[in-house]
């Protein structure tokens, strides 16, 4: 994991001081609401319904046990004892006091954390494959490049006041586990025919009101040119992106307005005229970044020697379920990747309390090199677990409600905080999530359904990424009433696809039944267990689902 040096610490502490001053000026009436808005947003501070929300950056989802403990402290001291993992791998505190924010930022700085650019119209946290470094299908580790992008984009003088927010995602594996095609810039590490490492570059993906998949604009960008090329893209966007309409301000609108070819031409022209040596990454500096993400020393361990004593049949079944759903392949045979589920029944998706944060820190230290990752699916990952430790880890994770064996199933619901918290939302999302979770509490049924993604956004901003869910739910306000629109057939990853609206939106109480009918039809129609929901949907189309969901029972 990356370790701060003096410059990193100085940047963060300068920023804390600066924000403290800005807050004081605001509270003293010297800084107008309009002027303070971009400043506070760039420090992750939203003014919400009940209380301000502070979003903390977890760069590309990597967090240490020490940092987890600090989050636990902050949750206890400044919030209501918990925090929330976002779909962009960050952490949110939902109950902070505005005057205490500078103090919280100070606390975060002591463990090399911050809230810089977690909101606002600037370059946001770079997201990444949660299996980076341990995936079997990896060409190169994306994290050193994420770190380089993190630094380059932090307080970049030219790009702090963009037309709209700007999100970058990087992967280094063949399979896309970071939804790069739904980002303003998606980067995929590849090798060219000569074996050189570089990037395939995608631009113009995004969700929100006008969801779009990104367009590839460069098939191979040598790694040295990464920042020079990013700068060219951002400069074209900053000059020509629309600022007159919030909903037309993302780069996706510029790309589609200019046409991909014209946009690409402009980026390449800007790149050619400004790609001077100062902007190129040297091999030494790339290697230096890579030196923080070296492969840990993996001990030999023999899973066969692990003796599970006096285990009841019921425990055995639960353990095996967990192994099947929550444990994933590691590139080293004797190791495994473990998902800690934040989707226990009755819990808001992605929420984690202070006691759990401390216990996860302990687990990470004992079982996974003191590092944890956050995921876009709002779960946590321990990436380097010895297979011989799995049973012990399962036992402990079960004891703290983090072993719900439903990763990747319908019950692994992704959900934004919605109208209960968020000032932007126009409907609640959490009660819908709870009702669906309650309806589908039969594990055998969930396993029969197999991999199935369900995501719920409380408004058109689409923070839960419902557009790329197999089953997406979007809250819409109709004359002050909460209604929910269902989209089907969305997919993330290499075959990214936007879901299609099924039909008229439904009142909250009807949503669980509608979802039940959707999955029932899927079970009836699928050719065999191998046919995924998305494949079945593509094959049979929307109509049968629509007929089933909107059928009136006589």
| 151 near another protein, judged by CB under 8 A | yes
Q: Which is nearer to another protein, 26 or 533 (CB)?
A: 26
Within 8 A by CB and 6+ apart from 295, the residues are 133
| 288 near another protein, judged by CB under 8 A | yes
Q: Which is nearer to another protein, 162 or 454 (CB)?
A: 162
Pairing relation of β-strands 91-93 and 53-56?
antiparallel
| β-bridge mates for residue 497, sequence order | 491
| 152 near another protein, judged by CB under 8 A | yes
Beta carbons of 44 and 84 less than 8 angstroms apart = no
Q: Among residues 56, 132, 281, 380, which is the contact residue for another protein, using CB under 8 A?
A: 281
Within 8 A by CB and 6+ apart from 288, the residues are none
| 227 near another protein, judged by CB under 8 A | yes
Q: Which is nearer to another protein, 174 or 239 (CB)?
A: 239
| 222 near another protein, judged by CB under 8 A | no
Phi/psi for 542 (5° steps) reads -75, -35
- Which part of the chain contacts another protein (CB under 8 A), choosing from 53-61, 238-246, 456-464, 540-548? 238-246
**Closest separation in Å from C-beta 295 to another protein:** 16
The pair of structure tokens assigned to 191 is: 């090798």
Q: Among residues 174, 191, 209, 239, which is the contact residue for another protein, using CB under 8 A?
A: 239
| 274 near another protein, judged by CB under 8 A | yes
| β-bridge mates for residue 274, sequence order | none
CB atoms within 10 A of CB 192: 11
The pair of structure tokens assigned to 314 is: 């019921």
**Closest separation in Å from C-beta 66 to another protein:** 21
| 39 near another protein, judged by CB under 8 A | yes
Phi/psi for 33 (5° steps) reads -55, -45
| 33 near another protein, judged by CB under 8 A | no
Q: Among residues 1, 18, 98, 516, which is the contact residue for another protein, using CB under 8 A?
A: 18
Residues 170 and 479: their CA atoms lie apart, in Å, by: 41
| 275 near another protein, judged by CB under 8 A | no
| β-bridge mates for residue 185, sequence order | 168, 203
CA torsion 243-244-249-252 (nearest 10°) is: -110
**Rounded to a whole number, what is the distance in angstroms from the first to the last CA of the chain?**
61
Q: Which is nearer to another protein, 273 or 307 (CB)?
A: 273
**Closest separation in Å from C-beta 87 to another protein:** 25
**Closest separation in Å from C-beta 78 to another protein:** 25
Beta carbons of 449 and 522 less than 8 angstroms apart = yes
Residues 256 and 288: their CA atoms lie apart, in Å, by: 38
Pairing relation of β-strands 91-93 and 127-128?
unpaired
Q: Among residues 285, 509, 520, 529, which is the contact residue for another protein, using CB under 8 A?
A: 285
> Using CB under 8 A, which residues numbered 121 to 150 contact another protein?
121, 148
| β-bridge mates for residue 454, sequence order | 471
Q: Which is nearer to another protein, 280 or 516 (CB)?
A: 280
> Using CB under 8 A, which residues numbered 496 to 535 contact another protein?
none
Residues that bind another protein (CB under 8 A): 5, 7, 10-11, 14, 18, 22, 31, 34-35, 37-39, 121, 148, 151-152, 154-162, 227, 235, 238-239, 243, 273-274, 276, 278-282, 284-285, 287-289, 291
């Amino acid at each position: 994991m990356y370790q701060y040096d003096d410059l990193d610490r100085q940047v963060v502490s300068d920023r804390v001081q600066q924000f403290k001053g800005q807050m004081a000026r605001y509270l003293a009436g010297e800084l107008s609401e309009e002027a303070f808005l971009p400043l506070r947003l760039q420090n992750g501070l939203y003014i919400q319904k009940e209380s301000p929300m502070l979003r903390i950056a977890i760069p590309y989802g990597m967090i240490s046990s020490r940092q987890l403990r600090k989050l636990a402290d902050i949750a206890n001291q400044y919030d209501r004892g918990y925090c929330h993992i976002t779909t962009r791998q960050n952490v949110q505190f939902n109950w902070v006091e505005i005057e205490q924010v500078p103090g919280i930022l100070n606390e975060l700085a002591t463990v090399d954390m911050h809230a810089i650019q977690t909101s606002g119209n600037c370059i946001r946290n770079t997201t990444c494959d949660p299996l980076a470094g341990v995936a079997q299908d990896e060409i190169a580790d994306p994290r050193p490049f994420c770190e380089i992008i993190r630094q380059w984009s932090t307080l970049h003088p030219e790009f702090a006041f963009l037309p709209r927010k700007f999100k970058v995602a990087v992967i280094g594996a063949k399979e896309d586990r970071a939804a790069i095609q739904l980002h303003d810039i998606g980067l995929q590490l590849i090798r060219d025919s000569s074996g050189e490492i570089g990037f395939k570059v995608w631009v113009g993906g995004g969700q929100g009101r006008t969801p779009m998949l990104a367009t590839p604009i460069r098939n191979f960008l040598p790694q040295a040119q990464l920042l020079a090329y990013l700068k060219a893209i951002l400069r074209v966007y900053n000059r020509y992106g629309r600022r007159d309409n919030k909903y037309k301000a993302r780069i996706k609108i510029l790309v589609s307005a200019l046409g991909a070819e014209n946009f690409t031409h402009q980026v390449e022209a800007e790149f050619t005229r400004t790609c001077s040596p100062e902007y190129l990454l040297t091999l030494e500096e790339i290697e230096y970044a890579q030196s923080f993400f070296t492969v840990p020393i993996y001990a030999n361990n023999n899973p066969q020697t692990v003796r599970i004593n006096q285990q009841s049949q019921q425990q055995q079944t639960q353990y095996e379920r967990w192994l099947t759903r929550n444990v994933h392949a590691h590139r080293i045979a004797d190791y495994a990747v473990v998902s800690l589920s934040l989707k226990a029944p009755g819990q808001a998706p992605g929420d984690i309390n202070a006691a759990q944060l401390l216990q996860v820190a302990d687990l990470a230290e004992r079982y996974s090199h003191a590092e944890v990752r956050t995921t876009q699916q709002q779960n946590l990952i321990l990436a380097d677990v010895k297979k011989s430790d799995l049973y012990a880890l399962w036992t402990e994770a079960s004891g703290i409600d983090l072993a719900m064996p439903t990763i990747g199933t319908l019950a692994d619901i992704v959900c934004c905080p919605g109208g209960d918290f968020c000032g932007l939302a126009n409907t609640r999302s959490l009660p819908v999530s709870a009702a669906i979770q309650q309806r589908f509490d039969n594990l055998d049924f969930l396993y029969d359904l197999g991999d199935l993604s369900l995501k719920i956004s409380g408004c058109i901003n689409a923070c839960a990424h419902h557009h790329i869910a197999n089953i997406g739910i979007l809250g819409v306000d109709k004359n002050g009433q909460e209604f929910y629109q269902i989209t089907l057939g969305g997919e993330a990853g290499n075959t990214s696809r936007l879901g299609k609206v099924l039909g008229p939106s439904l009142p909250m109480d009807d949503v669980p039944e509608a979802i039940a009918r959707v999955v029932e039809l899927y079970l009836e129609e699928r050719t065999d267990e191998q046919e995924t929901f998305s494949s079945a949907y593509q094959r049979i189309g929307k109509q049968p689902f629509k007929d089933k969901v909107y059928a009136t029972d006589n």
